[in-house]
Amino acid sequence: MSFVRFLAGRLVKAVIVVLAIAALNFVLVRLAPGDPASVLAGEAGATDPKFVDELRARFGLDKPVWEQLLIYLGQVVRLDLGFSYRNQVPVIALIGERLPATLLLMTSGFLFSLVAGVGLGVLAARARFLERGRFLDSVVMTIALVFYATPLFWLALMLVILFSVQLNWLPAFGMESVGANLTGVSRAVDIARHLVLPTLALGFFFMAVYVRLTRAAMLEVMNQDYVRTALAKGLSPREVLRKHVLRNALLPIVTFAGVQLGQMAGGAVLVETVFAWPGVGRLMFDALLQRDYQLLLGVFLITSGTVVVFNLLTDIVYLFVDPRIRVEGRAR
């Protein structure tokens, strides 16, 4: 029962957070100078001020701002994200078109960073724990430190130069070979090849975070009394490592996985820019520059909504990973 109550409570909170985000963003974007009508008129080279007024009226921008906000929130409640002024199509359609690309990029970036990061972290901690291979530990940690300090966009540019231009191993940009008309397996392979560099660019930083987290968490657990006891009882270090250390070091990893999504969304803007990846991050940036209010708000809402859902999932995973956390009275 308590689980259901917990879940319901979190859900209600999530909905409130999402609506608050919608309202906050709405106010924020209206503070920016310029509006979609002036941008469109500017790009069109319109010399007729009446034209701009007509556009404003068509977009409903001539109404008072509070009225526009109410209209917008009313839409959001009905799960309607509105119409993109600029592209003349519903916002949801535009986002829907781009979302799969971003999800693919983020998922593969996420998996890469998680697997490589935790793997290397375990390797480093293990080397230290088994009292051999301090060198390995140093190498892994140095790699982690360097990637932790590398600007993502710069790394992306360097990857393109090295792997696409110099070595010509991998495509430099885009999500698939345009015009190749591939299907089935060959298309999947094609997309996978395009995915490699963006995934690396997006994932290396987070990989570094996981390496450090995993290693630190494991080293911390290794110093706990029960581990020492287990060792003293004559269990082999390998066994202790597997049975006690790894399991108990999982918590901070899960915690970080929960917040990683939000951070990666920002990185996606950069990666999608450099690699011409047809995703939502770039859509957001363009919408921002062009003051395509409804589209921008829509992207924000979807992203924040996803983060909220992800946090919820993290909370649930917590319950299973760490039974010590009681459902009620859990303070985060």
Partner 1 sequence: MRRISVRQTGLAALAVLGAWAFPAAAQTPVKGGTLAGIVQPEPPILMLALNQQGPTIYVAGKIYQSLLTYEFDLKPRPVLAKSWTMSPDGLAYTFDLQENVKWHDGKPFTAGDVVFSVDVFLRKMHPRARVTIDRYIASVTALSPVKVEFKLKEPFGPFLSLFEVSTLPMVPKHVYDGTDFATNPANQTPIGTGPFKFKEWRKGSHIHLVRNEEYWKPGMPYLDELYFRVIPDAASRGVAFERGDVQVLRGGDVDNVDIRRLRGISGVETTTKGWEMYSPLSFMMMNMRKPPFDNLKVRQAAMHALDKSFIQRTIFFGLAKVANGPIASTTLFHDASIKPYAFDVALAKKLAAESGVDLSKTPVKILAFPYGAQWDRLTEYVKQALEQVGFKVSIEPTDAGGWAKRVGDWDFDISFNFTYQYGDPALGVARHYLSSNIVKGSPFANNQGYSNPKVDDLLRQAASAVKAEDRAKLYAEAQRILVEEVANGYLVELEFPTLWRSNVKNLVQTAIGLNESFEDVWIAK
Partner 2 sequence: MTSFWRRFSRNAGAVIGLAVLAVVILVALFASLMFSTSPWQMVGPPLLLPFEEQGFALGTDMLGRDIAAGLAHGARVSLLVGVVSTGCAVVIGVAFGTLAGYFGGAVEHALMSVTEFFQTIPQLAMAVVLVAIFTPTLESIVIAIALVSWPPVARLVRAEVLSLREREFVEAAIVLGRPTRAIIFGEILPNAISPVIVAASLIVATAILTEAALSFLGLGDRNMMSWGFMVGAARTMLREAPWLTVLPGLAILVTVLAVNLVGEGLNDALNPRLKERGD
Stretch that binds partner 1, among 117-125, 136-144, 276-284, 306-314 (CB under 8 A): 276-284
Say if residues 30 and 67 touch (Cβ distance below 8 Å): no
Among partner 1, partner 2, none, residue 172 binds (CB under 5-8 Å by kind): partner 1
- What does the alpha-carbon distance between residue 294 and residue 31 come to, in Å, rounded to a whole number? 15
CA angle 168, 156, 124 (to 5 degrees): 100
Tally of CA atoms within 13 A in the half-sphere of 291 that contains its CB = 17
Say if residues 90 and 315 touch (Cβ distance below 8 Å): no
Binding mask 139-168 for partner 1 (x = CB under 8 A): ------------------x--x---xx--x
26 binds partner 1 (CB under 8 A): no
Stretch that binds partner 1, among 31-39, 74-82, 138-146, 316-324 (CB under 8 A): 31-39
Judged by DSSP in three states, 83 sits in strand
Stretch that binds partner 1, among 63-71, 129-137, 245-253, 268-276 (CB under 8 A): 268-276
Selected binder of partner 1 within 13, 24, 27, 42 (CB under 8 A): 42
Among partner 1, partner 2, none, residue 28 binds (CB under 5-8 Å by kind): partner 2
CB of 28 to partner 1, least distance (A): 14
- What does the alpha-carbon distance between residue 307 and residue 257 come to, in Å, rounded to a whole number? 11
CA angle 252, 256, 257 (to 5 degrees): 115
| Torsion on CA atoms 159, 268, 188, 111, rounded to nearest 10 | 90
Among partner 2, partner 1, none, residue 194 binds (CB under 5-8 Å by kind): none
Say if residues 70 and 274 touch (Cβ distance below 8 Å): no
CB of 227 to partner 2, least distance (A): 11
Judged by DSSP in three states, 45 sits in coil
Which residues make up the interface to partner 1 (CB under 8 A)? 32-36, 38-49, 51-53, 58, 86-89, 94, 97-98, 101, 157, 160, 164-165, 168, 171-176, 178-179, 272-279, 282-283, 286, 288-291
